[in-house]
């Protein structure tokens, strides 16, 4: 009898446990559905007529590109002058990005993709925040009565809120292409190149405002290459188990240059580090795969070579590897934001996981972004691939501060067929 009661109690407890697990599972699913429903209900923010008129007023103005020499000199200006320039310039460039969303993609399309909705809403929110920072909602330069105030909290908040903007945009546009078959990869690459180049300029101005020292008047290219090379080697060892050799050498055609191309080269170290890191990561991954496939004993033969050369006006950085090269069929796809070796997320995913990137692999858009960073200050990146052997990357940068002028994209008036400058040119990938 006791045994029977014991069995009944066990069965009751099991039933209660099963029911509880079902409830928790159902509750968890309900919460997930609720969150997804709330995200869909948030939708694209509606802009009232007054705010839209202000956006348009700034959008029709032209940005004022600055050289690195001017950025260095601007730090000596009064706080009022610095505040006024940053506020006006950010509003002009931000308004152009908002108009690009509205005119080229359209609010209805944006509303279909959560990532684009969030990116668009963030742009509008940040525009308003900067607009209010001046103490005036009109575009009359003489009516901003609050230009002496410290805008640091507002600027820092904009920077913090938009850190995930690149993965948001790239994931959103990729998902939009899959949903809208009429949207071409050419359109997507043109849109993202122009919008992100515009955004780089805004971010550089805000970073300069927050720290006043993002431009190094004595940027040491060789030292930065060495630092980045060590970081990439460690990352590669952590994620692949293989630590490639990276050999760095520098040469100068300048007479009496004991520092080997390090003297008087004004540049933004953060931008140079990003470009070098992306190129070296690609070489490191390719070299590691080649090494593992061939089981080569002498990995010195597979060393990645970094050569830095310069004269009085230019700096050239060459990165060469023996990692097998880029297949012919891939070709210019490497410059596309839609091309990646990472597995795509399911189409029903409603959020972007900004942590969904390895330290070594990133988000799969490192090359096009690196090229934009180089283009931003009048430089360029070119690749030469020898399939079956290796890849060579060439980074060209102007050396004189007055020649390092922002490249600020203007509103595209040409059609895609007219091949505007930000579309990949045939000679940018040499086979």
CATH number at residue 369: 3.30.565.10
Query: Could you give the 3-state DSSP secondary structure of residue 286?
Result: helix
Please give the DSSP secondary-structure letter assigned to residue 341. S
Question: Which of 98-107, 167-176, 333-342 has the weakest average pLDDT?
Answer: 333-342
Q: Do 145 and 225 lie in a common domain?
A: no
pLDDT mean over 43-48: 88
Q: What is the pLDDT of residue 300?
A: 60
Share of the chain above pLDDT 70, in %: 71
Helices (H), 43-78: 49-59, 68-74
Low-confidence winner among 46-50, 293-297, 345-349, 382-386 (lowest mean pLDDT): 345-349
- Whether residue 407 has pLDDT greater than 50: yes
Q: Find tokens 């640091």 and name the residue.
A: 152
Question: Do 314 and 179 share a domain, yes or no?
Answer: no
User: Coil, helix or strand for 316?
Assistant: strand
Q: Are residues 226 and 284 in the same domain?
A: yes
pLDDT at 26 over 50: no
Is the pLDDT assigned to residue 11 strictly greater than 60?
A: no
**Same-domain check for residues 310 and 377:** yes
Residue whose pair of structure tokens reads 């099991």 in the numeric block: 14
Report the C-alpha gap between 127 and 91 in whole angstroms.
Answer: 6
| 420 within a domain of the structure (yes/no) | no
63 has a pLDDT exceeding 60: yes
Confirm if 405 and 66 have CB atoms less than 8 A apart.
yes
Q: In this structure, is residue 425 part of a structural domain? A: no
Please report whether residue 414 resides in a domain: no
- What does the alpha-carbon distance between residue 156 and residue 46 come to, in Å, rounded to a whole number? 25
- The separation between CA 270 and the C-alpha centre of its own chain, rounded to angstroms, equals 13
pLDDT value at residue 363: 54
Quick one: 253 and 140 in the same domain? no
- Give me the mean pLDDT over the 61-69 stretch: 88
The pLDDT > 90 percentage for the chain reads 47
Residue 114 in any domain: the answer is yes
In a domain, 340, yes or no: yes
Position 397 scores a pLDDT of: 92
The pLDDT score that the predictor gives to residue 218 is 86
Full residue range of the structural domain in which residue 307 is found: 221-399
303 and 166 within one domain: no
DSSP-derived secondary structure letter, 301: G
Note whether 291 and 387 are same-domain residues: yes
Cα separation, 428 vs 151, in Å, equals: 41
Are residues 260 and 349 both part of a single domain?
yes
Which of 156, 177, 211 is the endpoint of a domain?
211
Per-residue pLDDT at 179: 85
Strand-pair partners of 429: 383
Asked if residue 228 and residue 193 are part of one domain, the reply reads: no
Angle (CA) 116 121 123, round 5°: 95
Question: Residue 12: is its pLDDT beyond 70?
Answer: no
Q: What angle do CA 336, 423, 163 make, to 5 degrees?
A: 55
Q: What is the DSSP letter of 266?
A: -
pLDDT digits (tens, 9 = 90+) for 297-333: 555 668 999 999 988 888 999 999 999 999 888 877 8
Q: How far apart are CA 408 and CA 72, in angstroms?
A: 19
Query: What is the per-residue pLDDT for 32?
Result: 39
CATH number at residue 85: 1.20.140.20
Domain total for the chain? 2
Give the number of other CB atoms < 10 A from CB of residue 407.
Answer: 17
Summarize the confidence of residues 77-83 as an average pLDDT.
88
Predicted confidence at residue 139, as pLDDT, reads 52
**Domain's final residue, options 180, 211, 242:** 211
Q: Is position 417 within any domain?
A: no
pLDDT for residue 264: 54
The reply to whether 205 and 252 lie within a common domain is no
State which of 191, 211, 231 marks the end of a domain.
Answer: 211
Reference 381, options 364, 400, 396, 401; nearest CA is 396
pLDDT value at position 387? 92
Specify whether 196 is located in the same domain as 290. no
pLDDT class of 399 with cuts at 50, 70, 90: confident
Residue 1: is its pLDDT beyond 70?
Answer: no
Q: What is the mean pLDDT of the chain?
A: 79
158 lies in some domain: yes
pLDDT tens-digit map of 94-130:
999 999 999 999 999 999 999 999 999 999 999 999 9
Asked whether residue 415 is assigned to any structural domain, the reply reads no
pLDDT of residue 94: 97
Are 139 and 286 in the same domain?
no
Q: Which of 25-29, 63-67, 106-110 bottoms out in mean pLDDT, i.e. has the lowest?
A: 25-29
């Amino acid at each position: 009898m006791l045994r029977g009661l014991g069995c009944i109690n066990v069965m009751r407890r099991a039933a209660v446990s099963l029911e509880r697990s079902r409830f928790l599972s159902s509750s968890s699913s309900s919460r997930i559905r609720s969150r997804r429903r709330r995200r869909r209900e948030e939708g694209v923010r509606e802009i009232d007529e007054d705010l839209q008129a202000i956006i348009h007023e700034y959008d029709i103005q032209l940005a004022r590109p600055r050289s690195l020499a001017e950025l260095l000199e601007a730090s000596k200006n009064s706080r009022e002058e610095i505040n006024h320039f940053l506020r006006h310039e950010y509003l002009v460039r931000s308004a152009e990005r908002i108009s690009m969303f509205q005119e080229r993609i359209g609010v209805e399309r944006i509303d279909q993709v959560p990532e684009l909705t969030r990116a668009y809403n963030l742009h509008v929110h940040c525009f308003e925040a900067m607009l209010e920072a001046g103490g005036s909602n009109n575009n009359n330069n003489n009516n901003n009565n609050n230009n002496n105030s410290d805008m640091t909290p507002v600027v820092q908040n904009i920077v913090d809120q938009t850190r995930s903007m690149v993965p948001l945009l790239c994931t959103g546009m990729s998902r939009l292409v899959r949903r809208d078959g009429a949207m071409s990869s050419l359109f997507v690459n043109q849109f993202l190149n122009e919008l992100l180049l515009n955004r780089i300029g805004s971010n550089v101005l805000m970073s300069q405002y927050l720290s006043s020292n993002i431009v190094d008047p004595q940027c040491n290219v060789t030292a930065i290459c060495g630092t980045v090379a060590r970081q990439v080697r460690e990352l590669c060892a952590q994620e692949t188990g293989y630590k490639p050799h990276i050999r760095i050498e520098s040469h100068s055609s300048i007479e009496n240059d004991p520092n080997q191309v390090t003297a008087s080269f004004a540049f933004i170290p953060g931008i140079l580090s990003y470009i070098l890191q992306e190129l070296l990561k690609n070489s490191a991954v390719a070299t590691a795969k080649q090494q593992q496939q061939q089981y080569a004993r002498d990995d010195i033969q597979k060393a990645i070579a970094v050569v830095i050369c310069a004269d009085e006006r230019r700096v050239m950085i060459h990165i060469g590897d023996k990692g097998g090269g880029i297949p012919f069929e891939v070709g210019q796809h490497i410059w596309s934001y839609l091309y990646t070796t990472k597995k795509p997320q399911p189409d029903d995913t409603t959020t972007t996981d900004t942590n969904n990137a390895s330290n070594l692999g990133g988000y799969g858009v490192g090359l096009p972004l690196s090229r934009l960073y180089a283009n931003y200050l009048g430089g360029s990146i070119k690749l030469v691939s020898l399939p079956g052997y290796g890849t060579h990357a060439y980074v060209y940068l102007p050396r004189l501060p007055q020649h390092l002028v922002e490249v600020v994209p203007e509103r595209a008036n040409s059609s895609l067929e007219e091949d505007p400058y930000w579309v990949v040119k045939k000679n940018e990938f040499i086979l």
